[in-house]
Amino acid sequence: MKHITLFVAMLPTLALIVPANAAPASVRTPTADLHIGKLRDAALNDTVAYDIVEGLTTEIGQRLAATDAEARARVWAVIKLKSLGFSNVHIEPFAMPVWVRGAETAEIVSPFPQKLVLAALGNSGATPAEGITAQIVAFDGLAALQAANPAKVRGKIVYVTHHMAATQDGSGYGFFGDVRRKSPAIAAQMGAAAIVIRSIGTDTSRAPHTGATNFGTNPAIPAAALSVVDAEQLDRILKRGKPVIMKLILTPQLSPNGQSGNVVAEVPGRDPAAGVVLIGGHLDSWDLGTGAIDDGAGVAISTAAAKYILDSGVKPRRTIRIVWFGAEEPGLFGGLAYRDKHKDEPHALASESDFGADRIWKFDTKLPIGAEAVRNRLTEALAPLGIEPGNTDARGDSDVGPLVALGVSGVDMNQDGTRYFDLHHTPEDTLDKIDPVQLRQNVSAWTAMLAITANAPENLIKTPGLN
């Protein structure tokens, strides 16, 4: 609410001052707007993005980080990006550990024998092949687990539930998502035999939501997410008041020696001193679905938009660098590798698409002083697509976040997340969940954003000390 109040208070100032003061006349002319409007509207008929996400999800399918499938996806990406006409297409490899799923079954042994559906969390430890059998000790939320007496947890299977609900901006994933990110380490520290959580999701289905957890310095105990439906079943069983005994088999494997990589392509610009506009999505996916909304859509949207700039016949001022990041899911490995390798190059802007394929409804910016007019031009160009201006504290989604944190300018194109966490990290993240009409709205908005930011006459390179 603080951000909204602030922003509304700023609106008149921006409207009165910025167009006259900061925006060079050359890009405020009807001709310039017309050019951007035409590019934007042409992109509403896009087929490039759907073609990419259809191809990637069909011909590769799941692309778990640092596995053979992700390596095949990189080869596929290089061929695709070259065929689209981009320059400087190459892979930037990096080393990382590999975690792969094994067997995973859960059953209530008593009082009501039955199987439950779950999926191991990324970085989960393993049970013996024959599994473990222990009593369930249940907690409603992370705080309840944190407050537990470790003596009551030791040797048990911890179960943590929560009450995540759908939100348009996806903010529930921050708060409720900590049940997945943090509970396993806490349970491990208390000596739990294993942990199962209610999936971090907003659906009502048997599809469990995987996702990375972080054990820190604690031992990696077996950790898994029950589907929302199975968690509710366990809730009902627990409510009967009898001790609940669960048998759990989870046999994932972790190897220290894996390789992933970022796939890079460019639309060359005219002015190297103006800095690179970095865009993209992540190429890897979890292994349960085919990674359509997470994040086949993101690489597809950002790449299709760059293709419209490439094909416009006018070389942009700035080089647009498209990166299909590797290994985002297990812990932002691709984003951190990119930052470490490229942080000393001048970057004008960084923006990533990694929140599905539903319509963009809001954009946030983080721009240097003197570049306020860029935000105004974005506002003007995106409003016809139903997109409103948001805050001026853009963080850069996932892989580009580390660069934006170093001071690089950012634009966040916020997608509607209302149904994103119905599907996120589940077997249901598949091509059919993408609405082609909303996908095209994304491409259109990204095309306008790129046309504006890649050509802005303003300086977009922040001085690190000033951020």
* Binding footprint of a copy of itself on the chain (CB under 8 A): 54, 58-62, 69, 72, 111-115, 117, 204-207, 229, 232-233, 236-237, 240, 289-290, 427-428, 430-433
DSSP per-residue letters across 280-310: EEE----SSS--IIIIIHHHHHHHHHHHHHH
Q: How far is the CB of 114 from a copy of itself (least distance, A)?
A: 3
Q: Which is nearer to a copy of itself, 88 or 204 (CB)?
A: 204
Q: How far is the CB of 416 from a copy of itself (least distance, A)?
A: 19
Instruction: Give the dihedral sign, CA 439/443/444/446.
Output: positive
DSSP per-residue letters across 9-21: HHHHHHHHHHHHH
Q: Which is nearer to a copy of itself, 344 or 432 (CB)?
A: 432
Residues near 431 by Cβ (< 8 Å), separated by ≥ 6?
53, 54, 57, 58, 290, 292, 296
Q: Which is nearer to a copy of itself, 2 or 240 (CB)?
A: 240
The residue written with tokens 């990375």 in the block is 212
**Tokens of residue 74, six digits:** 């990189």
The Cα–Cα gap between 425 and 208 comes to 8
Q: Which is nearer to a copy of itself, 44 or 69 (CB)?
A: 69
Contact 258, 96 (CB under 8 A): yes
Give the count of alpha carbons within 13 A of 89, CB side only.
15
Q: How far is the CB of 112 from a copy of itself (least distance, A)?
A: 5
Q: Which is nearer to a copy of itself, 429 or 458 (CB)?
A: 429
Q: How far is the CB of 206 from a copy of itself (least distance, A)?
A: 4
Q: Which is nearer to a copy of itself, 111 or 128 (CB)?
A: 111
Residues near 427 by Cβ (< 8 Å), separated by ≥ 6?
207, 288, 289
Q: How far is the CB of 428 from a copy of itself (least distance, A)?
A: 6
Strands 245-250, 104-110: pairing is: antiparallel
CA 343 to chain centre: 21
User: What is residue 115's three-state secondary structure?
Assistant: strand
Buried/exposed code over 249-276 (b: 16+ C-beta within 10 A; e: otherwise) = bbbbeeeeebbbbbbbbbbebeeeebbb
Q: Which is nearer to a copy of itself, 76 or 446 (CB)?
A: 76
Q: How far is the CB of 357 from a copy of itself (least distance, A)?
A: 15
The Cα–Cα gap between 357 and 36 comes to 22
Q: How far is the CB of 5 from a copy of itself (least distance, A)?
A: 39
DSSP structure class, residue 212? B
Q: How far is the CB of 58 from a copy of itself (least distance, A)?
A: 5
Q: Which is nearer to a copy of itself, 46 or 203 (CB)?
A: 203
Q: Which is nearer to a copy of itself, 362 or 433 (CB)?
A: 433
**Tokens of residue 397, six digits:** 């989604």
Q: Which is nearer to a copy of itself, 172 or 427 (CB)?
A: 427
The residue written with tokens 């970085």 in the block is 123
Q: How far is the CB of 177 from a copy of itself (least distance, A)?
A: 22
The Cα–Cα gap between 209 and 202 comes to 10
Backbone angles phi, psi at 404, to 5 degrees: -65, -35
Residues near 174 by Cβ (< 8 Å), separated by ≥ 6?
none
Q: How far is the CB of 229 from a copy of itself (least distance, A)?
A: 5
